[in-house]
Structure 1
Amino acid sequence: MRGVRCINDVRTQGEVLEGGRVVDDERAVIARVRAGDVEAYAVLVRAFTGLALRAARALGAGADAEDVVQQAFFKAYCALGQFRDDSSFKPWLLAIVANETRNTVRSAVRQRSVVGREATLREAEPLIPETTDPAVAAVHDERRTALLAALEELSEEHRLVVTYRYLLE
């Protein structure tokens, strides 16, 4: 289809993909959920989990990203009655993920010192394969540290803009 761009199993024109095939129209899936079909919500969860995880990590959730996303999907499910039918599910869900991430980060800041937060970020990073050149790994680590430091210096509003634009397409 010309002009339709797929991002993480969700077509931008409202078709929900699962396993590479079109499952249903987003609005139809939401209507089924509202009608009591709990299993239909699983289609939305499968379609948007990857994007929601990337958003939570990019916004600073770190090791708590999976918990943030789970809580966001739960809140979205509970608030589905307030979802406007003329809206797209993806930005609505990402707003919930952003709010949930913000709440989690604020709570974590109160509970941990700066040193503790840095340790958490380090633990959340994937292990570097043994086959990787140590010099390449060091450069990668330095760039990641510089990027995270630069994002931390931005205001929350600017950090959201940069994250949405460059990390979440």
Structure 2
Amino acid sequence: MASSPPARPSLSASSPSPLPSAPCPSRDSVVAALRTAGCVFAEDEAALLMAAARTAGELTALIDRRVSGLPLELVLGWAEFRGLRVAVAPGVFVPRRRTEFLVDEALAHAPHASVVVDLCCGSGAVGAALAAALDRPEVHAADVDPAAVRCARGNLADAGGRVYAG
């Protein structure tokens, strides 16, 4: 009488993985890694990285990218600009806090503007910030870099902004 082979364990989506998952790095270990790499605001960066990661492996990858010297904004895929989360991508200028001054000046000089033009727009942060502060302006942005144009299109989509290459 032939015996049947032993049953193989099922690896369906509902059953737990037979391999243990990697432990999630602790906040203290993330801060220590960032501080060792020279990150001045290690605690703040650790909180942002930990909030962005969905898994322990993803957190480790984010930490590795930051520790290798990649700017935090590119690791996260966004930068805070005037209270907005502006998407950024490799090769696209990351909006700076000092550029918020430009938005403040534009609002001071034209508080009821109905048309916004953001030339050399990069990520489109200036146009997006003005669109958020004004009452539904018509927004036009332009950049020569294809990566910046793609990024700005995403950042200005909700405002109905039009982005041009050139």
In the superposition, the TM-score normalised over structure 2's length comes to 0.27
In the superposition, the TM-score normalised over structure 1's length comes to 0.27
Higher strand fraction (1 or 2):
2
Asked which structure has the greater RCO (Cα within 8 Å, sep 6+), the reply is 1
Q: Larger radius of gyration, structure 1 or 2? A: 2
